[in-house]
Amino acid sequence: MSTVKSEQTPTKQPKPKTLVVHLLAGGTAGLIEACSCHPLDTIKVRMQLSKSGVRNATGKKLGFVGVGAKIVRNESFFALYKGLGAVVAGIVPKMAIRFSSFEYYKSLLADANGKVSTSSTFFAGLSAGVTEAVLVVTPMDVIKIRLQAQKHSMTDPMDVPKYRNAAHCAYEIVKAEGVGALYKGVALTALRQSTNQAVNFTVYQEMKKYATKVQQVDELPSYQHLILGGVSGAMGPMSNAPIDTIKTRIQKSNATGSGWQRFQVVTSEIIQKEGYTAFYKGLTPRLMRVAPGQAVTFMVYEKVRGWIDLFNDKWDEGEIVVAGVKLANK
């Protein structure tokens, strides 16, 4: 009695993404996002640090466009990129940690069939935000804010700032205030990043899932990743603007005391001298910084990850040809 074997083509299962994939895709996305959106972040920080509002020569309060124009006029166009070195130095590990830790936490929260619920996605994003805040974002933010707060002209060689660059700023902070100063506001930063990424990843993943289902496609075009990333990126800042303002004030200050004491002092000072609306200073430029930033990040991340996956597939199938020689991973 003969046994007939049905010849079926095995379904090709997608290989799990490695840390290298997240590092390359996330790092590339973060670098492009930082270079294109950093001026908006500088304007946001200046608006948050101004206790009476940034004003022009006649005393009229300026909006984010006016603040940006004033910075360029008084300090040169390149002043909008103050602190960029600190951001770029931290953006690759930040994005690598963000995406890889998110995927890791998501895998822990998946059910027996590997499916991840919306609530699990939310908590995975929450955990990823805390992870990146503690490992990378807090010291990077402290250095960036100290550099951005300097109001010196970058075209006048005689106008020497206290901090020359990101490395010098880190050195001077540690020398004068100790290593702990780089972690000023770590609790608030973790709270901000966790809520940001929880909302960001949840909204993005759910919209992406819905869009692929409605269009009946496996992968969305880049412009749709751009739109979805922009929408999801705008959600976080709208929910945690007061946290970001308090965090910025704490990190700019060189005051001593416990984190809770600094939080109480800064918060009460804002309420007494500026009112509750001051907690939302810089919200507009922050939205204009974060929303397009996340749009660029998700679009570039998805694109680069797709290129890496395609390269890996062709490598495994022996379809990579260099100088007429076919290469294969054998």
- Classify residue 149: in a domain, yes or no: yes
Over the stretch 135-146, which tens digit does the pLDDT of each residue have?
988 998 888 888
Number of domains observed in the structure of the chain: 1
Angle ∠(237,241,246) on CA atoms, nearest 5: 140
Over the stretch 33-51, which tens digit does the pLDDT of each residue have?
888 888 888 888 888 777 6
Given a cut of 90, whether residue 213 has pLDDT beyond it is yes
- Classify residue 285: in a domain, yes or no: yes
- Classify residue 327: in a domain, yes or no: no
Given a cut of 60, whether residue 5 has pLDDT beyond it is no
Closest CA to 185 of 227, 230, 243: 243
CATH of the domain at 103: 1.50.40.10
- Classify residue 13: in a domain, yes or no: no
- Classify residue 321: in a domain, yes or no: no
Residues 38/86, Cβ–Cβ less than 8 Å:
no
Mean pLDDT, residues 159-188? 86
- Classify residue 38: in a domain, yes or no: yes
Containing structural domain, residue 278: 19-313
pTM of the model: 0.69
Mean pLDDT, residues 170-189? 89
Handedness of CA 287, 56, 165, 174 (dihedral sign): negative
Identify the weakest region by mean pLDDT among 76-80, 89-93, 105-109.
89-93
- Classify residue 322: in a domain, yes or no: no
Given a cut of 80, whether residue 92 has pLDDT beyond it is no
Residues 72/151, Cβ–Cβ less than 8 Å:
no
Given a cut of 80, whether residue 2 has pLDDT beyond it is no
Alpha-carbon gap, residue 329 to 317, rounded angstroms: 8
- Classify residue 10: in a domain, yes or no: no
